[in-house]
Chain A
Amino acid sequence: MNGAQYILHFLEQKQVHSVFGYPGGAIMPLYDAMLDSSIKHYLARHEQGAAFSAIGYARSTNSVGVCIGTSGPGATNLITSLADAMLDSVPLLVITGQVATSSMGSDAFQEVDVLGLSLSVCKHSELVTDIRELPAALEYSWELAQEGRPGPILLDVPKDVLLTELNDTDIKQSSGTQTSTTSEMQVIDGHQQPVSEINQLLEQAQKPLLYVGGGVAMAGAIQELNDFIERSHLPSVSTLKGLGCVPSAHPYYLGMLGMHGLPGANIAVQECDLLLVVGARLDDRATGKLDEFAPHAKVVHVDIDAAELGKRRATHIAIQADVKQILPLLTTHQDYDEWNAHLRQIKAEKAVQYSDFSASARPDAPSVLHCLSEKLPKNAVVACDVGQHQMWVAQHMQFTTPCNHLTSGGLGTMGFGLPAAIGAKVARPQHTVVSVSGDGSFMMNVQELGTLKRYGIPVKIIIMDNQRLGMVKQWQELFHEERYSETNLSCNPEFCALAQVFGLTARELTNNNQTEEALNWLLEQEGAALLHVRLDEQQNVWPIVPPNTANHKMWEQPSCNA
Chain B
Amino acid sequence: MQCLKLEVNNKPAILERVLQVVRYRGFELISLQVSPQGMDMLTVFITVDGVQPISKLTNQLNKLYDLAGIIHLNLAQSENAPHENAMRTA
Query: Which residues does A use to contact B, with CB under 8 Å?
Result: 115-116, 119-120, 123-127, 144, 175-177, 179-180, 189, 305-307, 309-311
Q: Which residue of A lies closest to B12 (CB)?
A: A127
Which residue in A115, A116, A176 is a CB contact (below 8 Å) of B66?
A176
Q: Is B60 an interface residue (CB 8 A)?
A: yes
Q: Which residue of B lies closest to A311 (CB)?
A: B56
Q: Which residue of A lies closest to B56 (CB)?
A: A311
Which residues on A sit within 8 Å (CB–CB) of B55? 189, 310
Which residue in A124, A180, A307, A310 is a CB contact (below 8 Å) of B60?
A307
Q: Which residue of A lies closest to B8 (CB)?
A: A177
Which residue in A115, A116, A119, A307 is a CB contact (below 8 Å) of B62?
A307
Residue contact B12 to A115, C-beta cutoff 8 Å: yes
Question: A116-B13, A124-B65, A311-B56 are contacts. A177–B20 as well, Cβ < 8 Å?
Answer: no
> In angstroms, how far is the closest chain A Cβ from the Cβ of B50?
14
Interface residues as binary, B17-43 with A (CB distance below 8 Å gives 1, 0 otherwise): 100100010000000000000001000
Q: Is B79 an interface residue (CB 8 A)?
A: no
> In angstroms, how far is the closest chain B Cβ from the Cβ of A41?
28
Residue contact B62 to A144, C-beta cutoff 8 Å: no
Q: Which residue of B lies closest to A308 (CB)?
A: B59
CA distance A321 to B12 in the complex (A): 31
> In angstroms, how far is the closest chain A Cβ from the Cβ of B60?
5
Residue contact B9 to A119, C-beta cutoff 8 Å: no
Residue contact A179 to B65, C-beta cutoff 8 Å: yes
Which residues on A sit within 8 Å (CB–CB) of B12? 115, 127
Q: How many residues of B contact A (CB 8 A)?
A: 22
Q: Which residue of B lies closest to A175 (CB)?
A: B40
Residue contact A119 to B16, C-beta cutoff 8 Å: yes
Interface-central residue, A115, A127, A189, A306, by most chain B CB under 10 Å:
A306
Which residue in A123, A175, A189, A311 is a CB contact (below 8 Å) of B9?
A175
Q: Which residue of B lies closest to A120 (CB)?
A: B20
Which residues on B sit within 8 Å (CB–CB) of A311? 56, 59
Q: Is the interface of B mostly helix, strand, loop or mixed?
A: mixed
Which residues on B sit within 8 Å (CB–CB) of A144? 65
Residue contact B24 to A179, C-beta cutoff 8 Å: no
Which residues on A sit within 8 Å (CB–CB) of B62? 179, 306-307
Residue contact B65 to A176, C-beta cutoff 8 Å: yes
Interface residues as binary, B52-90 with A (CB distance below 8 Å gives 1, 0 otherwise): 000110011011111110000000000000000000101
A sample of 23 cross-chain residue pairs with beta-carbon separation below 8 angstroms, ordered by A number, consists of A115-B13, A116-B16, A119-B17, A119-B20, A120-B20, A124-B65, A125-B13, A127-B12, A127-B13, A175-B9, A175-B11, A176-B65, A177-B65, A177-B66, A177-B68, A179-B64, A179-B66, A179-B88, A189-B55, A306-B59, A306-B62, A307-B63, A310-B55
Question: A119-B20, A175-B40, A306-B59 are contacts. A180–B9 as well, Cβ < 8 Å?
Answer: no
> In angstroms, how far is the closest chain A Cβ from the Cβ of B80?
26
- Given A119-B17, A175-B11, A179-B90, 5 more contacts at CB 8 Å? A115-B12, A179-B64, A179-B66, A307-B63, A311-B59
> In angstroms, how far is the closest chain A Cβ from the Cβ of B57?
10
Which residues on B sit within 8 Å (CB–CB) of A177? 9, 65-68, 90
> In angstroms, how far is the closest chain B Cβ from the Cβ of A408?
21
Which residues on B sit within 8 Å (CB–CB) of A179? 62, 64-68, 88, 90
Residue contact B90 to A307, C-beta cutoff 8 Å: no
Residue contact A119 to B68, C-beta cutoff 8 Å: no
Which residues on A sit within 8 Å (CB–CB) of B67? 177, 179
Which residue in A116, A120, A180, A189 is a CB contact (below 8 Å) of B65?
A180
CA distance A340 to B33 in the complex (A): 57
CA distance A309 to B66 in the complex (A): 22
Which residues on A sit within 8 Å (CB–CB) of B90? 177, 179
Interface-central residue, A125, A179, A305, A311, by most chain B CB under 10 Å:
A179
CA distance A176 to B16 in the complex (A): 17
Q: Which residue of A lies closest to B60 (CB)?
A: A307
Q: Which residue of B lies closest to A151 (CB)?
A: B63
> In angstroms, how far is the closest chain A Cβ from the Cβ of B9?
6
Q: Which residue of B lies closest to A113 (CB)?
A: B13
Which residues on B sit within 8 Å (CB–CB) of A176? 9, 65-66
Q: Which residue of B lies closest to A125 (CB)?
A: B13
Which residues on A sit within 8 Å (CB–CB) of B63? 123, 180, 305, 307
Which residues on A sit within 8 Å (CB–CB) of B24? 120
Q: Which residue of B lies closest to A148 (CB)?
A: B63
CA distance A33 to B38 in the complex (A): 39
Which residues on B sit within 8 Å (CB–CB) of A123? 63, 65
CA distance A99 to B63 in the complex (A): 29
CA distance A124 to B63 in the complex (A): 9
Q: Which residue of B lies closest to A309 (CB)?
A: B59
Q: Which residue of A lies closest to B24 (CB)?
A: A120
CA distance A126 to B88 in the complex (A): 24
User: What 6 A-B pairs come out closest when comparing CB atoms?
Assistant: A307-B59, A124-B65, A177-B68, A307-B60, A306-B59, A119-B20
CA distance A311 to B63 in the complex (A): 14
Which residues on A sit within 8 Å (CB–CB) of B11? 126, 175
CA distance A189 to B72 in the complex (A): 13
Which residue in B13, B40, B56, B60 is a CB contact (below 8 Å) of A119?
B13
